[in-house]
Amino acid sequence: MVYAVFAPLIFAIIIPFLSRIKHKVHTGWLILPVPLLIFIYFLQFVGSDFETARQTIDWIPSLNIALDFYLDGLSLLFALLISGIGTLVVLYSIYYLNKEEQLGHFYTYLYIFMSSMLGVVLSDNVFVLYTFWEFTSLSSFLLIGYWHYREKSRYGALKSMLITVLGGFSLLGGVILLTIETGTTSIRGMIEQADLIVNSDYFLFILIFLLLGAFTKSAQFPFHIWLPDAMEAPTPVSAYLHSATMVKAGIYLMARFSPIFSEVPLFFIILSIFGLVTLAWASYMAVRQTDLKGSLAFSTISQLGMIMAMLGFGTSYAVFAAVFHILNHATFKGSLFMVAGIVDHETGSRDIRKLGGLMTFMPISATLAIFGTFSMAGVPLPFLNGFYSKEMFFESALDLGGYSGAFIESLITAIPIIAVVGSIFTFVYSMYLFFGTFRGEYKESELPKKPHEAPFMMLVPPMLLVIGVMVIGLFPNMFNQALITHSADAVYGDEVAKDIKFWHGWDSPAFQMSLIVVAAGILLYLTKNKWHHIYRVIPGRFNFNRVYDWMVEKIESVSNRITTAYMTGSLRLYMILILTAIITITAGAILISDGFNFEVQDLAPITAPEVIVASIMAIAAIGTTVARNRIAAILILGVVGYGLAILFVMYSAPDLALTQLIIETVTVVLFLLCFYHLPNLTTNNNSIVHKGTNVLVSIGYGVLMLVIGVTAYNSRFADTISNFFMENTYELGGGHNAVNVILVDFRGIDTLFEVAVLFGAALGIFAMIKLRQDKGAK
């Protein structure tokens, strides 16, 4: 599993080099085997005899953080979707993206995202899951903003980043509280302590934090606004991120933690309400859209709301239906996004008002769209998988119980009604998508390009997904026993054995609800022009995007005013602010921790030579404040450094003295070289306030350093590590000089990075000198 998770990430490193030969062969062909092999690897686990698997690699043992990958039915389902649809997306992108595009960037971002999603669904350690979670936000930001020269792409990428990262921070807070309460970082370990979590004082915070993380990622109301703007990404990105993978990360999170919360009424209330509101509102708004991908974006939001609601219902049947619809939605929605991309690619437009009559020119695409849209609409046909899970949604909405209370009982009564209303609009926008695009009048003058069918290989990915729609529809129980049941078991926390049937009889309430949806949907679609003006009233001028834009604008405005107030270009002001902050924070910490502990009985006696050297250093330090010549100030300041080297000698630390001498000498020489050409030190402000502020900050900082130095000797919050170094310097480090062994062995990594920093600075200086020489030569 480790190789499966990190293989795309490893290839992401070498993709920029592979893209250099894109004029000879499309980069996509070179990397296509990676997700295909991953898909084949996970495919071997599918079967009625499936058993869980686990693989662990230590990462940060001191914090109980390990790369602990766990494969159960739920993670297997998602891994197959991520790798399988990822393979089709790469194949599709080969024909969608021109070789002149920045293919190296595109596939690098895509494979980082693929690796991150695999990490999310396979990680059992909550902090590893969170790490991958944030990588999905970062990589999706890069993918959405791939066409960065477009303002809308940048806007959509930033919006998705701000909203999903906000949810990510909330998720981090939730997993930290879970870890504190349970004493484990393992998700399975937390599920085993579900009673402890539910009865915890932090339970409400844990639940809200996790819900915020899931709602923002899976575009639940009112955080759904980022998804439609993310449609500015290339269509392969939309087909991958926004139908099958990223937007389902929040769904996965709720499914994974549902065994903990499933018996809690508050979990049922929140997920049911927000899920159903998302379903109804997004399906209603999808009918309003005129952009193909915009309508598909809202349809995705509505379908995610339906899945989230079923997870909230918490019954075994609802959980089974939710898992089944995750699979079904990925197939029909992935194919529809690809067909929408084909229409845009071959006609030059995604505006439904300009489209129409394309079935004559694009018969294969139209045929694929029929299966996708009708399956999404839940049309009762046995070869459409969407009908099965939508029927199960209705059945689970009708079979709720186990909770008491007037509000919950009212909610249970309202749930089937809201489910039907949302499904009616789902039917309407599905018909609008197909008939508005492929049927009706052909508007040749409205289209930038004469429409024609896409290349065959570009049609293969959506064709395979549509075949999946039909095969699942015709043989649902074949997938049930091999995959879906195992996934539902992992979510429900117990065995879930269900048979999937197409026909339940005319007297089935769920089937009657489906007939109502079809009848009302047909009526609303045919009379759409008569009632469409209702959007002027609801939502009217109100728009959640305006709320988001207003908030971002206000934050930027306030931040700009604050930054402008202190970013004046005055080095003196910057130093005052920095030192004042240090004084305030450090002194406050010392005061709160009762750190003012002055004890001098164990200190070594102070001799006259030490007093003389210290006095000279103090006089030199004061001298730098009154010197008016830069070179004189630097030389006087050097006295302080050399005086410190003398004190090191007096305290029997010759190695430190030599180090101090070298550093001081180099520093003085560099300062002299840098400041030689600058004018003498002058001040334009001799006011009492100006000088008084300087004196006050200087004295305050000096006193603080004195307090820290004196109290640090007696304030011990933990055992000193110096004893460990002294006892193990020779045995573990192989040397007698403790300081050298600490720098080279015990803190070797720190020293290595310090050298790396110096090396980087040297390269920067060399580059600037080289640039200046090149300009001089010209």
Say how many C-beta atoms besides its own lie within 10 A of residue 543's C-beta. Answer: 11
67 bridge partner residues: 57
Across residues 447-473, what is the average pLDDT?
93
Domain count for the chain: 3
Q: In 3-state terms, what secondary structure has residue 59?
A: strand
Provide the pLDDT for residue 507. Answer: 83
Across residues 44-62, what is the average pLDDT?
88
Which residues have C-beta within 8 Å of that of residue 121, sequence separation ≥ 6?
74, 75, 78, 79, 82, 252
Nearest to 336 by CA among 428, 238, 443: 238
Across residues 269-287, what is the average pLDDT?
95
Q: In 3-state terms, what secondary structure has residue 568?
A: coil
Q: In 3-state terms, what secondary structure has residue 351?
A: strand
* Contact present, 646 and 609 (Cβ < 8 Å): no
Residue type, 111: Y
415 has a pLDDT exceeding 90: yes
Across residues 35-56, what is the average pLDDT?
92
Domain that holds residue 704: 571-717
Q: Is residue 200 part of a domain?
A: no
Question: DSSP label at 605?
Answer: P
Measuring CA to CA, how many Å separate 399 from each of 205, 393, 492? 30, 10, 16
Sign of the alpha-carbon dihedral angle for 545, 428, 399, 321? negative
Sign of the alpha-carbon dihedral angle for 696, 702, 705, 710? negative
Element (H, E) at 284: helix 265-286
Residue 197 tokens read as: 């979590």
Say yes or no: 453 and 334 in one domain: yes
Q: Is residue 748 part of a domain?
A: yes
680 has a pLDDT exceeding 70: no
Provide the pLDDT for residue 63. Answer: 82
Say yes or no: 521 and 587 in one domain: no
Sign of the alpha-carbon dihedral angle for 343, 346, 350, 353? negative
Say yes or no: 577 and 464 in one domain: no
CA atoms within 13 A on the CB side of 274: 24
Say yes or no: 516 and 374 in one domain: yes
739 has a pLDDT exceeding 90: no
Q: Is residue 668 part of a domain?
A: yes
Residue type, 624: T
pLDDT one-digit tens code per residue, 480-526: 888 999 999 999 988 887 778 887 778 889 999 999 999 999 999 99
Residue type, 749: I
Across residues 197-224, what is the average pLDDT?
94
Confidence band (pLDDT; 50, 70, 90) for 677?
low
Confidence band (pLDDT; 50, 70, 90) for 637?
confident
Confidence band (pLDDT; 50, 70, 90) for 405?
confident
226 has a pLDDT exceeding 90: yes
Confidence band (pLDDT; 50, 70, 90) for 195?
very high
Q: How many residues does the chain have?
A: 778
447 has a pLDDT exceeding 90: no
Sign of the alpha-carbon dihedral angle for 396, 399, 403, 408? positive
Provide the pLDDT for residue 681. Answer: 63
738 has a pLDDT exceeding 90: no
pLDDT one-digit tens code per residue, 615-634: 999 899 888 888 877 778 88
Say how many C-beta atoms besides its own lie within 10 A of residue 527's C-beta. Answer: 10
Confidence band (pLDDT; 50, 70, 90) for 389?
very high
Residue 462 tokens read as: 């959506």
Provide the pLDDT for residue 742. Answer: 83
173 has a pLDDT exceeding 90: yes
Q: In the chain, pLDDT over 90 holds for what percent of residues?
A: 58
How far, in Å, CA of 776 to CA of 474, rounded? 76
How far, in Å, CA of 374 to CA of 435, rounded? 11
Report the range of poorest mean pLDDT among 30-34, 43-47, 211-215, 585-589.
585-589
Q: What are phi and psi of 289, to 5 degrees?
A: -70, 145
Nearest to 121 by CA among 8, 3, 249, 219: 249
Element (H, E) at 65: strand 65-71
Tally helices (H) and strands (E) across the chain. 33, 2
pLDDT one-digit tens code per residue, 115-145: 999 999 999 999 999 999 999 999 999 999 9
Measuring CA to CA, how many Å separate 585 from each of 573, 597, 698, 707, 708? 18, 18, 16, 14, 13
Provide the pLDDT for residue 682. Answer: 65
Say yes or no: 711 and 759 in one domain: no
Q: Is residue 420 part of a domain?
A: yes
How far, in Å, CA of 417 to CA of 306, rounded? 13
How far, in Å, CA of 292 to CA of 632, rounded? 73
Residue 376 tokens read as: 């999404």
Element (H, E) at 278: helix 265-286
Q: What are phi and psi of 567, to 5 degrees?
A: -90, 75
How far, in Å, CA of 110 to CA of 235, rounded? 13
Say yes or no: 404 and 285 in one domain: yes
Across residues 458-462, what is the average pLDDT?
95
| Long-range contact set of residues 607-616: C-beta below 8 Å, sequence gap at least 24 | 607/650, 609/650, 610/647, 610/650, 613/643, 613/646, 613/647, 613/650, 614/643, 614/647, 616/643
Q: In 3-state terms, what secondary structure has residue 70?
A: strand
Calculate ∠ Cα 209-324-172, nearest 5°: 15
Task: Identify the domain boundary among 717, 745, 768.
Answer: 717
Report the range of poorest mean pLDDT among 364-368, 559-563, 659-663.
659-663
Report the range of poorest mean pLDDT among 326-335, 400-409, 527-536.
400-409
Q: Is residue 256 part of a domain?
A: no
Residue for token pair 């949806």? 517
Say yes or no: 351 and 388 in one domain: yes
672 against 284, higher pLDDT: 284
pLDDT one-digit tens code per residue, 690-709: 888 888 898 898 888 888 87
Across residues 284-300, what is the average pLDDT?
93
Say yes or no: 418 and 521 in one domain: yes
Element (H, E) at 530: helix 528-531
Q: Is residue 352 part of a domain?
A: yes
Element (H, E) at 55: strand 53-60
* Contact present, 328 and 472 (Cβ < 8 Å): yes
Say yes or no: 287 and 391 in one domain: yes
How far, in Å, CA of 315 to CA of 491, rounded? 11
Integer distance in angstroms from the first to the last C-alpha of the chain?
A: 56
pLDDT one-digit tens code per residue, 752-776: 888 888 888 888 888 877 776 666 5
Arithmetic mean of pLDDT over the chain: 89
Confidence band (pLDDT; 50, 70, 90) for 169?
very high
* Contact present, 333 and 243 (Cβ < 8 Å): yes
Provide the pLDDT for residue 723. Answer: 79
74 has a pLDDT exceeding 90: yes
Across residues 320-342, what is the average pLDDT?
94
HEC string of 689-709 equals: HHHHHHHHHHHHHHHHHHHHH
Task: Identify the domain boundary among 717, 745, 769.
Answer: 717
Residue 499 tokens read as: 């048979």
Provide the pLDDT for residue 6. Answer: 94
Say yes or no: 524 and 600 in one domain: no
Confidence band (pLDDT; 50, 70, 90) for 289?
very high
Measuring CA to CA, how many Å separate 657 from each of 614, 641, 652, 664? 15, 10, 9, 10
Q: Which CATH number is 710's domain given?
A: 1.20.120.1200
How far, in Å, CA of 735 to CA of 741, rounded? 6
Provide the pLDDT for residue 758. Answer: 83
Provide the pLDDT for residue 753. Answer: 84
How far, in Å, CA of 516 to CA of 507, rounded? 13
Say yes or no: 355 and 485 in one domain: yes
Q: Is residue 592 part of a domain?
A: yes
Residue type, 759: F
Provide the pLDDT for residue 482. Answer: 87
Q: Is residue 775 part of a domain?
A: yes
Say yes or no: 352 and 464 in one domain: yes
244 has a pLDDT exceeding 80: no
How far, in Å, CA of 229 to CA of 244, rounded? 17
Task: Identify the domain boundary among 717, 742, 770.
Answer: 717
